[in-house]
């Protein structure tokens, strides 16, 4: 069973930093893409950063230059370093894994972790 376990959410002041981590278990050696999403109240869930295994990360314009996605393949862990946080960054953050199996994508999600940035 695929599991994604997140940690690192919490409360932070404007301009502060947080580091989110997501540990993935239960996968084989399938082709994968990992990503971080955010969902604010009353808004759609939006992708913030994506990375293919061994590839270069891609970032949404709203977080480019402030957030950094990194991978530790040996530990099956993906992290999101968030710097210079703003109140607009407040929301529920989700770790996402997409696994390609026999030409079909399977989508897995973490439990979500709340990030609140005070003004």
111: exposed, middle or buried (Cβ count in 10 Å: 0-12, 13-18, 19+): exposed
Q: H or E segment at 12?
A: strand 10-13
d(CA 51, CA 32): 9
Residue ranges of the chain whose pLDDT lies below 70: 28-31, 53
Residue in the structure block whose two tokens are 């278990």 = 25
Residue in the structure block whose two tokens are 């530790």 = 72
pLDDT for 92 equals: 97
Token pair recorded at residue 53? 């295994």
pLDDT for 59 equals: 97
pLDDT for 113 equals: 97
- Side-chain-side CA neighbours of residue 74 (13 Å): 0
Please give the mean pLDDT across all residues of the chain.
92
pLDDT for 74 equals: 79
Residue in the structure block whose two tokens are 């939006």 = 46
The full DSSP string for 92-108 is EEEEEEEEEETTEEEEE
pLDDT for 107 equals: 92
Is residue 90 a contact partner of residue 117, using CB atoms and an 8 Å limit? yes
Residue 32's SS3 state is: strand
């Amino acid at each position: 069973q695929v599991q994604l376990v997140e940690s690192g959410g919490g409360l932070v002041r404007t301009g502060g930093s947080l580091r989110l981590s997501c540990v993935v278990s239960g996968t084989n050696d399938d082709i994968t893409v990992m990503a971080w999403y955010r969902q604010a109240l009353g808004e759609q869930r939006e992708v913030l950063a994506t990375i293919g295994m061994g590839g270069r990360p891609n970032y949404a314009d709203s977080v480019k230059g402030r957030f950094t996605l990194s991978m530790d393949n040996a530990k099956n862990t993906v992290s999101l370093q968030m710097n210079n946080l703003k109140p607009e960054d407040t929301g529920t953050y989700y770790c996402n894994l997409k696994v390609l199996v026999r030409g079909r994508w399977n989508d897995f999600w973490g439990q979500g972790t709340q990030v609140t940035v005070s003004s």
